[in-house]
Amino acid sequence: MGKHASSLAAVDEHISLNYQQLGCAARNVSKTLINDDVFDECVGISGPPSVRTLAALLGVVLSGNHYLYVDVSQPADWLGDHLRHVGCRRVLHCGDTLPDIVLAGVAFLPVTLDTRESAVALPELSAQHAAYINFSSGSTGQPKAIVCTHAGVTRLCQQQDFLPFGAALTFLFHSPLSFDAATLEIWGALLNGGCCVVNAGGMLTPEKLRAHIRQRGVNTLWLTASLFNTFVDVDLACLSGIQHLLTGGDALSTSHVRRALAAHKATRFINGYGPTENTTFTCCHVIRPQDAAAQDIPIGRAINGTEVGLYDAAGAPVTCAGETGEIYAFGAGLARGYHRSPDRNARAFVTVELRGRRMRAYRTGDLARYDDDGYLHFVGRVDSQVKINGYRLNLAALEAYFRQVNAIQDCALLVVEQQGSKRLVAVLLAQDDGPARDAALALASWERPGAYLCLRRFPLTPHGKTDRRRCWPSGRRINAGIPRSRSR
């Protein structure tokens, strides 16, 4: 924290800390864990985002442990299964009152901001030491816990070309801590002497963004592709003052990008691509006007510390422009793997040849192609997974889950785009959607459909298969307060 000791480090709606104060608060969190002989364990973080959250995260990492966001609004059984899977016995709660939820074998401990100097002997850690765990979204079976490393985080947030990381950047931390974009928002600031401004009170809105820019000088922002589209449609001017805007998580809308580029000529717009298994970003691309005039926006080239290659279904390299292959990611960003999942690790983390070298790689499951200039373009998924608002969902697994519910004869899950945003909808062969809605409460919040439609029969293709394109009527709108559906 040395040369930045007096610089503003962390800000929320109630408190501001400089680096010296944040360092003291974090070391006091570390001291508690170290005194309890907690080392190389998964420590949960719960509660609304705040400066306390940042102190807790830093304290967990400094003590040689790794953090996991614990969303206490999720079903208790679901949450308990996930915490047991990673051996999480302690959750540091950053809210004013401890949650009511009771989980066997898990203690919720309050976090206080103690900025007094305190002596503590911090452990020495290797670059491959675990920094945090993120659960891969979209799994309705055994949880997939991705263990990311210190090396992955520093490779993401230092000495990169896609952002001029340094003390001049003020990041807005508004992504859920369970979403790996938060890694960039938090550590992109705190590893470089910049400032991390915490967005409190739920989802970011144009009005909140304007206030953060005006009051706190936020100049660096991540938005999912869907949220970016919404801001462009609703209040394009709210982006004024942002110097670096990163977006991704889904394919970008060229029409929205064109409007943003035209309105904010001084802003650098960056398309960021990458799975959590390679620590947030694998490729980035600073968007040029000619990109927005094309059919799609490139995901660009590998960021520093990472290499990528395309491979066909037989594992042979794909090198010719225009040919499609699966993206394999290599380098310092790779996660250690999936916690306690040797079979999954063997399938996903492989050793292959890249330009004459045998190297460890992650098979992303994403298809891409090179253009004539050597930029990568996203093509789609190898399997049946889709991505909505940054979360990966396995539609086949979720459909199977709903089909097991009494009174549901069949289920087709669709991704419907409305006003630039993707939504998950469930079309049911059922008399009433009540059983499906009740069953959805046991799923993670991002796995729950946003709307339901009951049909007496599914439309069929000439080959007798369900015609998914005709299941959801063209023009039918998705409303937050959509009434319960009965079959028609």
pLDDT in tens, 300-316: 999 999 999 999 999 99
Q: How far apart are CA 374 and CA 322, in angstroms?
A: 10
Residues 137 and 266 in one domain: yes
Q: What is the pLDDT of residues 385-399, one digit of tens each?
A: 788 888 888 887 788
Using alpha carbons only, how large is the chain's radius of gyration in Å? 23
Q: What is the pLDDT of residues 326-356, one digit of tens each?
A: 999 999 999 999 999 999 999 999 999 999 9
Identity of the amino acid at 83: L
Residues 371 and 395 in one domain: no
Q: Last residue of a domain, which of 317, 344, 379?
A: 379
Residues 316 and 413 in one domain: no
Q: What is the pLDDT of residues 288-301, one digit of tens each?
A: 999 998 889 999 99
Residues 438 and 351 in one domain: no
Confidence at residue 184, expressed as pLDDT on a 0 to 100 scale: 99
Entry pTM: 0.85
Token code pair at residue 146: 């991705």
Residues 158 and 241 in one domain: yes
Low-confidence winner among 10-19, 266-275, 454-463 (lowest mean pLDDT): 454-463
SS (H, E, C) the chain: CHHHCCCEEEECCCCEEEHHHHHHHHHHHHHHHHHCCCCCCEEEEECCCCHHHHHHHHHHHHCCCEEEECCCCCCHHHHHHHHHHHCCCEEEECCCCCCCCCCCCCEEEECCCCCCCCCCCCCCCCCCCEEEEEECCCCCCCCCEEEEEHHHHHHHHCCCCCCCCCCCCEEEECCCCCCCHHHHHHHHHHCCCCEEEECCCCCCCHHHHHHHHHHHCCCEEEEEHHHHHHHHHHHHHHHCCCCEEEEECCCCCHHHHHHHHHHCCCCEEEEEECCHHHCCCCEEEECCHHHHCCCCCCCEEECCCEEEEEECCCCCEECCCCCEEEEEEEECCCCCEECCCHHHHHHHEEEEEECCEEEEEEEEEEEEEECCCCCEEEEEECCCEEEECCEEEEHHHHHHHHHCCCCCCEEEEEEEEECCEEEEEEEEECCECHHHHHHHCCCCHHHCCCEEEEECCCCECCCCCECHHHCCCCCCCCCCCCCCCECC
Q: How far apart are CA 477 and CA 434, in angstroms?
A: 20
Token code pair at residue 283: 């490729």
Residues 289 and 415 in one domain: no
Confidence of residue 473 (pLDDT cuts 50, 70, 90): confident
Other beta carbons within 10 angstroms of residue 454's beta carbon come to: 20
Whether residue 408 lies inside any domain: the answer is yes
Q: Last residue of a domain, which of 319, 344, 379?
A: 379
Confidence at residue 343, expressed as pLDDT on a 0 to 100 scale: 94
Q: Which residue has the higher pLDDT, 149 or 233?
A: 149
Instruction: Count structural domains, the chain.
Output: 2
Interacting residues of 42 by C-beta distance below 8 A, sequence separation 6+: 65, 66, 67, 68, 86, 87, 88, 133
Token code pair at residue 281: 């970003």
Structural domain of 461:
386-470
Q: Which residue has the higher pLDDT, 234 or 483?
A: 234
Is residue 139 over pLDDT 80? no
Q: What is the pLDDT of residues 221-230, one digit of tens each?
A: 999 888 898 8
Whether residue 480 lies inside any domain: the answer is no
Residues 330 and 423 in one domain: no
Residues 302 and 201 in one domain: yes
Is residue 482 over pLDDT 90? no
Low-confidence winner among 184-193, 278-287, 356-365, 420-429 (lowest mean pLDDT): 420-429
Low-confidence winner among 109-118, 352-361, 385-394 (lowest mean pLDDT): 385-394
Q: How far apart are CA 303 and CA 156, in angstroms?
A: 8
CATH of the domain at 82: 3.40.50.12780
Residues 134 and 210 in one domain: yes
Residues 355 and 426 in one domain: no
Whether residue 36 lies inside any domain: the answer is yes
Is residue 457 over pLDDT 90? no
Is residue 484 over pLDDT 60? no
Token code pair at residue 350: 């492989």
Residues 273 and 333 in one domain: yes
* Mean pLDDT, residues 127-155: 86
Q: Last residue of a domain, which of 358, 379, 400?
A: 379
Token code pair at residue 388: 């909505």
Torsion of CA 157, 160, 163, 169, to 10 degrees: 50
Residues 298 and 428 in one domain: no
Confidence at residue 463, expressed as pLDDT on a 0 to 100 scale: 45
Q: How far apart are CA 69 and CA 113, in angstroms?
A: 19
Whether residue 445 lies inside any domain: the answer is yes
Is residue 420 over pLDDT 70? yes
Confidence at residue 312, expressed as pLDDT on a 0 to 100 scale: 96
Confidence at residue 137, expressed as pLDDT on a 0 to 100 scale: 57
State how far Cα 146 lies from the chain centre. Answer: 12
What value does the mean pLDDT of the chain take? 93
* Mean pLDDT, residues 152-176: 98
Q: Which residue has the higher pLDDT, 386 or 218?
A: 218
CATH of the domain at 443: 3.30.300.30
Identity of the amino acid at 141: G
Confidence at residue 266, expressed as pLDDT on a 0 to 100 scale: 98
Whether residue 2 lies inside any domain: the answer is no
Confidence of residue 198 (pLDDT cuts 50, 70, 90): very high
